């Protein structure tokens, strides 16, 4: 992408991108689409270019695993896609794995099977994080589970805990900390959780809850960036930067940046700064229509 760009404004027929990732091999962003499920490459000019085929009705979280030449994408149907149907709404839920270089879809891992979810219920995965060994950890805000997917594509339930369950939107954004644990935020209550690799769940002490906590991003120096919105909870549209001196058993707010573009969902850390995506999901939820999106750099 080159020098720092403050804001990228674009239009796409694949409307309402919710997830974003930085692709260091292309020096560009990858974004998904709640409308069509397709994935696009977006550079500094804001013009989207196709990347692979749509893995499902809608796509959400994306993660570029450049070490293994992979892109991992969550796909689900929460009722907002062009191809939403009774047979897939809150039933379709999985992770798609692509070849980073070619964009070829190599594997789809179904995360709503009788083995994984014997009690049934609603399911629709949202975000994912990757550890140093290539394992993926996937949130399901419609349920009480977080899943683990090995590099070979074998899926298990890492944790199932009532503290993750919500009547609206539960555990959403997730990151892997290089010290060896996960952090995830529950959207409706704003609770930040710390999860061990064995699936032990504990609450991170915060001075104020991250209500409307959607995407999380971890900077190279260990700061946690939480993007909050009011799309489905009484949150404030802002980017909150936190840090910790005890491996996120507690966390302190370092800065808060009110977000000037409506409906921010998540952030991507790049060599040129941290960029936040606003895919006009607020317009979608209000019953309108838009093909616009904005990728804006945080001021810090």
Would you state the structure tokens that stand for residue 229, as one six-digit string? 């919105």
- Cα 251 to Cα 222: distance, rounded to the nearest angstrom: 11
Task: Report which of 123, 142, 36 is spatially closest to residue 80, judged by C-alpha positions.
Answer: 36
- The pLDDT of 185-191, averaged and rounded, is 98
Per-residue pLDDT tens digits for 282-299: 999 999 999 999 999 999
DSSP codes of every residue in 136-162: EEEE-TTSSEEEEE-TT--EEEEEE-G
Q: Do 49 and 9 meet the contact criterion of CB atoms below 8 Å apart?
A: no
| Domain covering 7-297 in this structure, CATH number | 2.120.10.30
pLDDT at res. 172: 98
Over residues 93-138, the pLDDT tens digits come to: 999 999 999 999 999 999 999 999 999 999 999 999 999 999 999 9
Cβ neighbours of residue 287 closer than 8 Å, sequence gap 6 or more: none
- Give CA–CA dist 42/48, Å, rounded: 5
Asked if 224 and 183 touch (Cβ cutoff 8 Å), the reply is yes
Is residue 49 a contact partner of residue 26, using CB atoms and an 8 Å limit? no
SS3 285: helix
Per the CB < 8 A criterion, the answer to whether 21 and 63 are in contact is yes
Q: What is the pTM of this model?
A: 0.97
Which string of b and e fits 74-101 if b means at least 16 CB within 10 Å?
bbbbbebbeebeeebbbbbbbbbbbebe
Listed by start position, the domains of the chain span 7-297
Give me the mean pLDDT over the 201-211 stretch. 95
pLDDT of residue 250: 97
Q: Are 225 and 218 contacting, i.e. CB atoms less than 8 angstroms apart?
A: yes
């Amino acid at each position: 992408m080159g020098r720092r760009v403050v804001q990228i404004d674009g239009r796409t027929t694949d409307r309402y991108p919710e997830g974003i990732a930085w692709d260091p091999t292309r020096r560009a962003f990858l974004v998904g689409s709640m409308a069509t499920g397709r994935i696009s490459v977006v550079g500094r000019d804001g013009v989207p270019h196709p990347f692979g085929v749509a893995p499902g009705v809608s796509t959400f979280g994306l993660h570029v695993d450049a070490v293994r030449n992979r892109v991992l994408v969550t796909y689900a149907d929460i009722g907002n896609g062009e191809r939403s149907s009774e047979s897939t709404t809150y039933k379709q839920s999985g992770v798609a794995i692509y070849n980073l270089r070619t964009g070829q879809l190599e594997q789809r891992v179904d995360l709503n099977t009788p083995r994984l979810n014997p009690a049934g219920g609603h399911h629709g995965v949202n975000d994912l994080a990757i550890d140093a060994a290539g394992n993926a950890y996937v949130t399901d805000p419609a349920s009480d589970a977080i899943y683990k997917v090995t590099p070979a594509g074998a899926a298990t339930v890492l944790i199932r805990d009532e503290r993750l369950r919500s009547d609206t939107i539960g555990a959403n954004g997730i990151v892997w900390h290089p010290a060896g644990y996960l952090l995830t935020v529950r959207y409706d209550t704003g609770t930040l959780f710390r999860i061990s690799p064995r699936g032990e769940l504990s609450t991170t002490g915060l001075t104020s809850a991250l209500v409307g906590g959607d995407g999380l991003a971890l900077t190279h120096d260990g700061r946690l960036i939480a993007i909050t919105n009011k799309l489905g909870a009484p949150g404030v549209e802002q980017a909150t930067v936190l840090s910790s001196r005890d491996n996120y058993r507690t966390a302190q707010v370092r800065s808060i940046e009110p977000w000037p573009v409506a409906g921010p969902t998540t952030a991507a850390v790049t060599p040129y700064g941290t960029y936040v995506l606003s895919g006009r999901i607020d317009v979608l939820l209000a019953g309108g229509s838009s093909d616009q999106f904005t990728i804006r750099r945080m001021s810090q």
